[in-house]
A and B are shown apart, each in its own frame.
Chain A
Amino acid sequence: MNQDPFKHEEQLKTFLDSYHVDIPEFQTEKPGKWQRVIQWLATPVKNPLDPLVETVRSYSLAGTLPIVLGLVIAVLT
């Protein structure tokens, strides 16, 4: 059962061996709550408006949004 499954997989072994990881320095204790909140806030996230940027939809939205807003304001006032 425990026969080496990689015995005849020399190329696969070479490939897997190329996975190097740089280990950062860190302590046993976790940082305080505030520091963790700051780290969380500083984590880069995907821009939720990305799908609207530089697409046909963004041009049509830019064109129609002022008209729609104008109509909404006209109806409300």
Chain B
Amino acid sequence: MSLRQTEEIEMAAYQAGDVEALGRIYEQLKQPLYLFIYRYTRDEQLSIDVVQDTFIKIQQYKQSFSPEKGSLKNFLFQTAYRIMIDKLNRRKKWYRLMPFLKPEDPQPANTEDKLTVQQAISSLPEKQRAVILLTYYHDLSQAEIAQMLEIPAGTVKSRLHHAISSLKNMLGGDYL
């Protein structure tokens, strides 16, 4: 049985009233969700908040999931992405009003490679960043990403192409 099927069975059980199924879904999907949000924002507390809010939303709207529309993973990632963008937009407004509330830049990482890959991904435009993270680290298809980000599949393809080119240009030199 594939992972997707297992997730869908668990979700069907949760929709039918098995409360413990949500815990199993949480254990299975909280890590990929956290990784996506963290790599996008590089903010640990925000990433935890988004994962928790996503599961609160899932509890409220559990009946709106339907396997015919897409996988549970895609459904959760879409919900998390929307929550994250809302939070980031709200933050930007606050920081514009009160710039002194802006937190310090994320701590530099221990190793040189890690620091470079973090910086490289963070410096990509937000739209390209989401596409490359979802494609490379989360193995989502371009059709799934298009559905999740609510953009045409062609746009996903071009953003991915630009993201790869930008990364290659940024990293250039000795590494690539």
Contacts and interface: CB of A to CB of B under 8 A. Distances in A.
B10 to A, nearest CB: 15
Contacts of A15: 113, 116-117, 120, 167, 171, 175-176
A63 interface: no
A26 B23 CA distance: 13
Contacts of A55: none
B135 interface: yes
Contacts of B167: 12, 15-16
A1 interface: yes
A60 interface: no
B142 to A, nearest CB: 6
Interface stretch (B1-9, B38-46, B65-73, B75-83): B38-46
A77 interface: no
B31 A28 contact: no
Given A1-B157, A19-B39, A26-B48, A12 B103 contact: no
Nearest to B45: A39
By DSSP majority rule, is chain A's interface helix, strand, loop, or mixed? loop
Chain A interface size range:
20 to 34
A1 B176 CA distance: 26
B141 interface: yes
B70 to A, nearest CB: 15
Nearest to A43: B103
A28 B104 contact: no
Given A19-B117, A23-B34, A45-B103, A1 B52 contact: no
Contacts of B55: 28
Contact of B44 (A2, A24, A45): A24
Interface of B: 22-23, 26, 31, 34-35, 38-39, 44-45, 48-49, 51-53, 55-56, 99-104, 113-114, 116-118, 120-121, 135-137, 141-143, 153, 157, 160-161, 164, 167-168, 171, 175-176
Interface of A: 1-2, 5-6, 9, 11-13, 15-16, 18-21, 23-24, 26-30, 39, 43-46, 48
9 closest Cβ contacts across the A-B interface? A48-B100, A19-B117, A18-B113, A11-B176, A30-B52, A26-B48, A44-B104, A18-B117, A2-B141
